[in-house]
């Protein structure tokens, strides 16, 4: 018998159409939650200079929604941008009107640019902050009244090992993820009294389409083949592998259990033993 410990709960997963977000959406659905995914499609996105990010198309958003629904739950798929106040309000409103409630928010959507600080494009730098830091704030602020009404809630934000260290050419990304940790620590102190927990997860490189794009970018910068770059990169990983998104999704699901209610304001690293 499947463990449907989230039966009757409703969840939002941002960036849920592909990669890690898709794995999280499917895992929560397998536990019985109704799930709304929101991703910004290739049809709507306006890429900024030096942006390295995989975007699903509208067909992929719909196919993921159908895959979630096939697990026996209700599912919504929304084409939207978490840095847009209007899109976030639509996300929360459509979720609550369709499912009748909201219990779980997974702030997963993010973007990235690769460029040194010298001569960095201002719009590109601010775009990363808007999506990776202001986006989770907007989603959380709009979701909180519904979680508080229920007297139960889980807010899980996907940070990164770059929330703890710096990386050349990734200043905007590192700044946004460092900020996400600070936001979460303050949030956890505010919401704990309402039986709501707020935690972050900081993975190392995950096996996703975006990770492959970054590896190709590194190879281009170093004048190496993709295979050579991957071999060099994985020297820092004791298990010699990128992390499958399903392993992160399992942790997200665990944090939604009642048994995890004392885990609040924490950041959990998943690095295969890497020292950062």
**Count of C-beta atoms within a 10 Å radius of residue 115:** 18
d(CA 126, CA 86): 19
173 is catalytic: yes
User: Which residues lie below 8 Å from residue 204, measured CB to CB, with a gap of 6+?
Assistant: 161, 237, 243, 269, 270, 271, 272, 274, 276
pTM of the model: 0.95
Instruction: Give one DSSP letter per residue of 73-128, joined into a string.
Output: S-EEEEE--TT-HHHHHHHHHHHHHHHS---EEEE-----B---STT--HHHHHHH
pLDDT tens-place string over residues 139-177: 999 999 999 999 999 999 999 999 999 999 999 999 999
Q: Which of 90, 86, 36 is nearest to 61 (CA)?
A: 36
Classified as helix, coil or strand, 33 is coil
pLDDT tens-place string over residues 67-100: 999 999 999 999 999 999 999 999 999 999 999 9
Domains delineated in the chain: 10-206+243-270 (3.40.50.720)
pLDDT tens-place string over residues 216-266: 887 787 788 888 888 888 888 899 888 999 999 999 999 999 999 999 999
User: Which residues lie below 8 Å from residue 271, measured CB to CB, with a gap of 6+?
Assistant: 161, 203, 204, 237
Q: Which of 137, 173, 226, 237 is catalytic?
A: 173
Do the bridges between strand 153-158 and strand 75-79 make them parallel or antiparallel, or are there none, so unpaired?
Answer: unpaired
């Amino acid at each position: 018998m499947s463990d449907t410990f989230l039966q009757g709960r409703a969840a939002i997963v941002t960036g849920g159409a592909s990669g890690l977000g898709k794995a999280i959406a499917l895992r929560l659905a397998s536990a019985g939650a109704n799930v709304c995914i929101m991703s910004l499609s290739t049809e709507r996105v306006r890429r900024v200079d030096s942006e390295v990010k995989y975007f699903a198309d509208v067909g992929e958003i719909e196919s993921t929604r159908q895959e979630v629904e096939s697990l026996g739950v209700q599912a919504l798929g929304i084409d939207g941008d978490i840095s847009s106040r209007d899109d976030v309000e639509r996300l929360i409103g459509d979720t609550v009107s369709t499912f009748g409630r909201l219990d779980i928010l997974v702030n997963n959507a993010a973007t990235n640019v690769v460029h040194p600080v010298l001569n960095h494009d201002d719009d590109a730098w601010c775009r990363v902050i808007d999506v990776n830091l202001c986006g989770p704030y907007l989603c959380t602020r709009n979701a909180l009244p519904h979680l508080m009404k229920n007297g139960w809630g889980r807010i899980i934000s996907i940070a990164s090992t770059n929330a703890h260290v710096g990386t050349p050419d990734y200043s905007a990304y590192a700044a946004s993820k460092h900020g996400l940790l600070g936001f979460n620590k303050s949030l956890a102190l505010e919401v704990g009294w309402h039986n709501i927990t707020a935690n972050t997860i900081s993975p190392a490189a995950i096996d996703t389409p975006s990770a492959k794009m970054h590896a190709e970018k590194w190879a281009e910068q170093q004048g190496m083949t993709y295979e050579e770059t991957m071999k060099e990169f994985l020297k820092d990983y004791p298990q010699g592998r990128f992390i499958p998104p399903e392993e992160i999704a399992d942790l997200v699901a665990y944090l939604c259990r009642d048994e995890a209610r004392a885990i609040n304001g924490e950041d959990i690293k998943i690095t295969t033993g890497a020292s950062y």
